Chains A and B, each alone.
Chain A
Amino acid sequence: MKTVFKKPESLTDAKFHYCPGCTHGIVHRLMAECMDELNIRESTIGICPVGCSVLAYDYFNCDMLEAAHGRAPAIAAAIKRLMPDRTLFTYQGDGDLASIGMGEIVHASVRGEKITVIFINNTVYGMTGGQMAPTTLLGQVTTTSPYGRSKDNEGYPAKMAELLAQNEGSAYICRTAVNNPSNVIKTKKAIKKALQTQIKGVGFSMVEVLSTCPTNWGLSPLDSMKWLEDNMIPYYPLGELKVKEDK
């Protein structure tokens, strides 16, 4: 018998605190598998956000720093500049990255910081109880858009991958989802490519992962997967938006 699947070394033994069926756990694992496969665990420094994944420092088995809300890209950029041969990643939710941290992420991408960003788009603020995020879809009801998000009142949802892809400094930008096995495999490939882009020194890399928040969506884990497919993918199309091969 050969083992086809076991916990990657780049994760600790700690149990995730996430809600049942929350896809944060899948993305953590994919990231850790990529670190294992690229053999970079010991040279990687991860920055976790403020949001449901704030405790990610307990889960990734590498040096970790917990950032102030939205500031992870600035922190990662500084560490990368001081230690260019380390691999830096940030792991951020949509409130963290696309709202309060909009300035930091845009400038990291504009400048072409050689860091990798894992961006979890689940359309809501998970940790604080399901408030509206910049990525909340039009018509979507949240605790702070109780009548459904409207373009005239709350404005349009932010398309971060498209926004960042246009920056010269962005070397690899891809949007994926984790709603089914085939998309999970594609997400892992994208994360690996993003890390390789950083290691090659080409520029800024980000994978936007469409994820679920069963708890705040008020859906079962499986129905959440379907909701993601039916509602998120049409507005947030999947695929690579920017692939720069050379420095």
Chain B
Amino acid sequence: MAKGRVSFFIDRCKACGLCIEFCPKDVLAFDTDTINILGYHPVALIKTDGCTGCGICALMCPDLVIEVERE
């Protein structure tokens, strides 16, 4: 299976949850330990090796928070 890497511009995240919901691998969640500049708990990767780099999270994110790379 392809391996992917996601990175987040966390200060753009509005915690709408769309990426979490549409990620087929369920590897995203809100980072409740962090509060970003907009006052939200931004999204973070919770299972580092589960991401396939499919890009769906970024496709559904309305705020350009996510960059995706794939092997």
Contacts and interface: CB of A to CB of B under 8 A. Distances in A.
Report A-B touching, CB under 8 Å.
yes
Interface of A: 1-7, 11, 15-16, 18-26, 29, 180-181, 184-185, 214, 220-222, 225
Interface in B1-35: 4-5, 11-12, 14-18, 21-22
A164 B58 CA distance: 32
Interface in B42-71: 53, 55-56, 58-64, 66-71
B17 A21 contact: yes
A4 B55 contact: yes
For the residues of A in contact with B, the DSSP-based class is mixed
B59 A5 contact: yes
Contacts of A24: 62
Contacts of A180: 22, 60
A3 B62 contact: no
A4 B68 contact: yes
A20 B36 CA distance: 14
Contacts of A3: 67-69
Contacts of A1: 5, 69-71
A16 B12 CA distance: 8
Interface of B: 4-5, 11-12, 14-18, 21-22, 40, 53, 55-56, 58-64, 66-71
A20 B16 contact: yes
A43 to B, nearest CB: 24
B18 to A, nearest CB: 6
Contact of A15 (B12, B59, B68): B12
Contact of B64 (A7, A20, A21, A221): A7
Contact of A221 (B11, B18, B53, B55): B18
A124 B5 CA distance: 38
A164 B63 CA distance: 31
- Specify which of B61, B62, B69 lies most central, judged by the most chain A CB atoms within 10 Å of its CB: B62
- Specify which of B4, B14, B40, B61 lies most central, judged by the most chain A CB atoms within 10 Å of its CB: B14
Contacts of B60: 26, 180-181, 184
Contacts of B21: 222
A18 B70 CA distance: 29
Nearest to B38: A15
